[in-house]
């Protein structure tokens, strides 16, 4: 009996998981959902127990800062976002460190800027740092350094969202699977929130220009930044770089276990390593 594309996910060893702000916060208040984060930590720790290497790209710093400072509306100005991120990133890592320690795991913080990736020396150092952290058995927790990342600062442009950032990290470290958890079940032929007749697409073998046009720069959440257009852009980076990618609903983080055991969850984008793939070309010219 032939092995299905889904069953092949069981053999993935180096996995990048991206979880969005909408999946880490309470819907009404925007505060961190600690119960949800604890479940996420438990699932990742279990993957580590299976011998897999896991990198977590986690949103939520600005939301955590909002909660700590008592602001329940999304920040508007750049200085507000950076201030909330400065407070929230420390708070978020404190939560992760404490929860992972309860499962005898060590979390490591990695903050990246676009300039880190554009500069040859810093990109090489970042790659070596990831490799060493994984070799040491830690769980790197990645976020964009929102305190300094802004398109208004010369040479320190931003990635725009953690969907693209997670795909870039997957390509950088040679991951064989990228899982994007968001507030949607996967890829549809149209926005299911607007069109009830939208058809779910469970498998994407090739990312075509027509498929890219289906992405819409919208998000159903007031705490996230990446819509479907960002996820399709991430899929191009990940699959060209040699990683399978799955978009799934992060409402129940146990979906991660279901994905890596071959269940039909979310939309699977198949890797098709591109010999002409140049990560720097993607970053500099496309994103």
What single DSSP character describes residue 1?
A: -
Q: Per the annotation, does 182 bind a ligand?
A: yes
Measure the CA–CA gap between 143 and 24, rounded to whole angstroms.
Answer: 14
Q: Per the annotation, does 183 bind a ligand?
A: yes
Take residue 278 and report the two structure tokens written for it: 């140049």
Per DSSP (E only), the strands in 119-174 are 139-144
Q: Per the annotation, does 162 bind a ligand?
A: yes
Measure the CA–CA gap between 286 and 284, rounded to whole angstroms.
Answer: 6
Q: Per the annotation, does 120 bind a ligand?
A: no
Measure the CA–CA gap between 238 and 176, rounded to whole angstroms.
Answer: 9
Q: Per the annotation, does 190 bind a ligand?
A: no
Note whether 8 and 246 are within 8 A (CB). Answer: no
Measure the CA–CA gap between 16 and 178, rounded to whole angstroms.
Answer: 5
Q: Per the annotation, does 121 bind a ligand?
A: no
- Would strands 267-269 and 203-204 be described as parallel, antiparallel, or unpaired? parallel
Measure the CA–CA gap between 204 and 262, rounded to whole angstroms.
Answer: 16
Binding site, by residue number, is 18, 59, 146, 162, 182-183
Binding site for ATP, by residue number, is 18, 182-183
Binding site for substrate, by residue number, is 59, 146, 162
């Amino acid at each position: 009996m032939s092995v299905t594309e889904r069953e092949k996910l069981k053999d993935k060893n180096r996995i990048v998981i991206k979880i969005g702000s909408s999946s880490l916060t309470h819907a009404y208040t925007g505060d961190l959902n600690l119960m949800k984060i604890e479940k996420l930590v438990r699932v990742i720790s279990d993957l580590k127990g299976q011998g897999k290497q896991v990198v977590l790209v986690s949103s939520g710093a600005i939301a955590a800062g909002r909660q700590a400072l008592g602001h329940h509306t999304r920040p508007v100005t750049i200085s507000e976002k950076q201030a909330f991120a400065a407070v929230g990133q420390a708070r978020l890592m404190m939560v992760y460190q404490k929860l992972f320690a309860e499962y005898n795991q060590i979390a490591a913080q990695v903050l990246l800027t676009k300039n880190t990736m554009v500069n040859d020396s810093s990109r090489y150092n970042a790659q070596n740092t990831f490799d060493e952290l994984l070799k040491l058995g830690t769980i790197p927790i990645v976020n964009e350094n929102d305190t300094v990342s802004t398109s208004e600062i010369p040479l320190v442009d931003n990635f725009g969202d953690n969907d693209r950032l997670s795909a870039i990290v997957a390509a950088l470290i040679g991951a064989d699977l990228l899982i994007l958890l968001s507030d949607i079940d996967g890829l549809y032929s149209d926005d299911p929130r607007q069109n009830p007749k939208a058809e779910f697409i469970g498998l994407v073998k090739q990312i075509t220009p027509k498929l890219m046009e289906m992405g819409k720069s919208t998000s159903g959440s007031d705490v996230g930044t990446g819509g479907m257009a960002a996820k399709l852009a991430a899929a191009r980076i990940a699959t060209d770089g040699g990683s399978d990618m799955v978009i799934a609903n992060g409402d129940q983080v146990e979906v991660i276990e279901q994905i890596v055991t071959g269940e039909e969850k979310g939309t699977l984008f198949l890797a098709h390593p591109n010999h002409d793939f140049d990560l720097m070309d993607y970053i500099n010219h496309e994103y």
